[in-house]
Structure 1
Amino acid sequence: MWLQGLAEAGEDACAAESGGDAIQVLTHHRAKGLEWPVVILCDLHFFKEGELWEMQMVPRREGFDLAAPLAGRSLHYWPWPFGKQTAGIAVDDRIAATEAAREIRQQRRAEDLRLLYVSITRARDLLVLTRQAKQKSLPWLDLLGAEWLTPTSGTLTLSGGASLPCAHREFEPGEGATADDGERPALTWFAGRRPHQARPPRELSPSSMAGTDAAIGRIIDLGSRLPINGKPEMDHLGTLIHDLIAAEFSDALGTDAETRCAELLTANSLSGVVRPEEAAVFGRRLRETLQREFAATAFHPEWPIECDLGNGQRLNGWIDLLVATPQGWLIVDHKSFPGRREDWSAQALAYAGQLAAYRRAVTEATGAPVLGTWIHFCIGGGLVEVLGV
């Protein structure tokens, strides 16, 4: 950052100090909205009558509209046609006496009064009004029409009769200030920028886990392949297959599974891609196989997991199908890989890291052993066991 570099080079001579003993020097405009225990107002002698020959903003005549705050406003500008001559111009005097000139002066006075109000009301405990001895009047302050505001006695009597203590002081100018030695106090600032340090993500998905040394175990055939007509988007078809299997294991298909599958295929614009009677089969045959081969007693589709990895990271995900057996758990992950049976093993090993993450989460959460981790090739019709995860 440029400001940071300026501070490090010791060249930040305009830093704002907000300590209790700080003195802030601001314009009257910049003081708006702020407050200090003591406020000293200067330049009260300065008052510039509304200038006809300056750019003016002309407000709308019909009032203010909150829905369109700038509507109806315009700019008014008369260029000064007399060059460097500023006095003895009769036409200038006549223009100054016009209604337009009177309105501009009134607008300028109103704005000056608002600004004066801002400045006077910034003090919490003490307000000091200053003037030079040679100045006989304070035109800006005189806009208030309140002579009682500048008394020469020790009491300020308000228009309502109340009084406040005040003091009138005159000071002689002191000796000239010594030259700045250039030294600056140490300033508190943001810490320097640290080199970028890559950090591991807080949340991890099981699918992002690196693979492990795994091997292929049993391969169980579930039956014929699921016929697919046309060339559908496989990600879209795979999502629907997951949903159909989850519906089968949560008993959401009801007694007429084929009709329900037909409705789901139509709703997902996949009608004709897969026949309803075949879509209703692959979830059922997976259930029957798990019950026959492993004596499965309960099925938990789309089961959420969460696991603390011990290094500040957390594992969050969903197991496609968690199967309970008398001896422990089975983890089944569905894949819509449409390839040949010869390619199943290589595909299954690619998900070893994901299956290992599932195993760890289930073991830590339940304390029961995981008997096997399996990849279910829904379209191909097979279960492939992945060992060593």
Structure 2
Amino acid sequence: MDFNFTEEQDMVRDGLSRMVREQYDWETRRKAIESDAGWRPEVWAQLAELGILGMPFSEDDGGFGGGAIDSMVIMEEFGKGLVVEPFVPTVVCAGGFLKHAGTDAQKEDHLAAIIGGERIFAFAYAEPRGRYDYADIATAAKKDGDTYTLNGHKAVVIGAPWASHLVVTARTSGSGRDRDGISVFIVEKAADGVVTRDYETVDGRRASEVYFENVSVAADALIGEEGKALPLIELVTDEAIAAQCAEACGAMKVAHTMTVEYSRQRKQFGVPIGKFQVLQHRMVDMYTAYEQSVSLTYLATLKLDAGETERKRAVSAAKVGVGQAARLIGQEAVQIHGGNGVTDEYAIGHYFKRLTIFDHEFGNVDHHLKRHVKLS
């Protein structure tokens, strides 16, 4: 199997790496996430100008002919800088729904705006009682003529404070955890009846609780076939998991590097703590976990085009392995940094927070371990 990247992918990696180093240094990021906006729209515009937002889409859809591997390359570099701009909600999730099941009119309207950086989406799928089950949906969409009326509550919608549109999962028929009866809609966040409560997440991003109170959407806002959207949701979320695994790999690499450098500078008993063999062993364990995570992420990304069972198994294996590694590397990095590791002024604590939260998005280690076993 060829694991070499194309010349174009290497160019994207080099360009993004330079951009993150020069424009996403630690202090600049810190000021951005502490601002009222919580992000920098000019960075999003620059990503669009560089073609980053169009990389994963085919040329027929107005993109640059890339795919999941391109998203992996992009997300790894974003992870190194703890980039908060909503690439996964907008490009991977909303873009994924549109490219897999969107009508020509939907693609022409929304994909072009996503690629151009003019429209930002958030993926509203999680609910307070859902516990990682995409079929456990209380939000309802009732059809009345040529419109649907949405009512419900979506929790921890990442990127929603910045979004112009939402991709919303809702039940159009059935009840409980029925796999049938689930649909996906595009909803303007400014629509009457959409109420949001915005807040900052532990890892420095922004999210919202989103409430739908008799929100009316046109029938052409439906993505794909009514009531048959669960397999599509699982496909798109698997793509999002693979992308976030790449992000975690980027963050783990930086966390490990920072820890090794700190161990060379911090002295105890007159010598750098990196001279202590027990700490050397722990940092080797961190590096091993990182390398294993990279391999799992590559495999999951390459299996996204495989059959459903094979894809799910590879993605769940990656989520378990990367989730465990993220916890190990984050905790070891903080402990080796000592008291400095938990101060807001030191970057390592923020890498720890991001790596910790990674485990809770789109299913944690326990959830994906059970899914993997079930599919075996």
Q: Which one has the largest radius of gyration?
A: 1
TM-score normalised per structure 2: 0.19
TM-score normalised per structure 1: 0.19
